[in-house]
């Protein structure tokens, strides 16, 4: 695996933002809803698992190097925070993402 990978930084950012968008459709931030969230736990878990799997597939397909893998995680984190997700939720999800991306 190289240091830089075979995809541009802009593409990595766009992909990370699309993952967050997919999650937001199923599990919107609390401040974006007019009451309690209506998504079931099973549906949310499935959406989160699907997004994390897509990230792993993206890394394998584009042979992301160290820097682009870090960029993917950071863009994902900041996009989640920008949308208004809670700090503990964001950190737990990013931790899971980084662990999955670091496995060869």
Domain boundaries along the sequence of the chain = 9-102
Q: Give percent above pLDDT 70 in the chain.
A: 87
Supply the pTM of this predicted model. Answer: 0.85
Question: What pLDDT, in 10s, does the model give residues 48-93?
Answer: 999 999 999 999 999 888 999 999 999 999 999 999 999 999 999 9
Categorize the per-residue pLDDT at 103 as very low, low, confident or very high, splitting at 50, 70 and 90.
confident
Average pLDDT in the chain: 89
CA-based torsion, 86, 92, 95, 97: positive or negative: negative
The pLDDT, as a whole number, for residue 40 is 82
What is d(CA 11, CA 72) in angstroms, rounded to the nearest whole number?
Answer: 10
Residue 26 clears pLDDT 70, i.e. is over it? yes
> Whose CA is closest to 90, among 31, 7, 29, 34?
29
């Amino acid at each position: 695996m190289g240091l830089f990978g075979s995809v541009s930084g802009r593409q990595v950012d766009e992909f990370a933002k699309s993952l967050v968008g997919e999650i937001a459709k199923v599990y919107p931030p609390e401040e974006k809803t007019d009451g309690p969230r209506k998504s079931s736990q099973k549906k949310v878990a499935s959406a989160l698992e699907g997004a994390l799997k897509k990230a792993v597939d993206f890394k394998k397909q584009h042979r992301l190097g160290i820097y682009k893998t870090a960029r993917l995680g950071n863009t994902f984190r900041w996009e989640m925070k920008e949308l208004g997700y809670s700090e503990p939720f964001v950190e737990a999800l990013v931790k899971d993402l980084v662990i999955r991306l670091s496995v060869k």
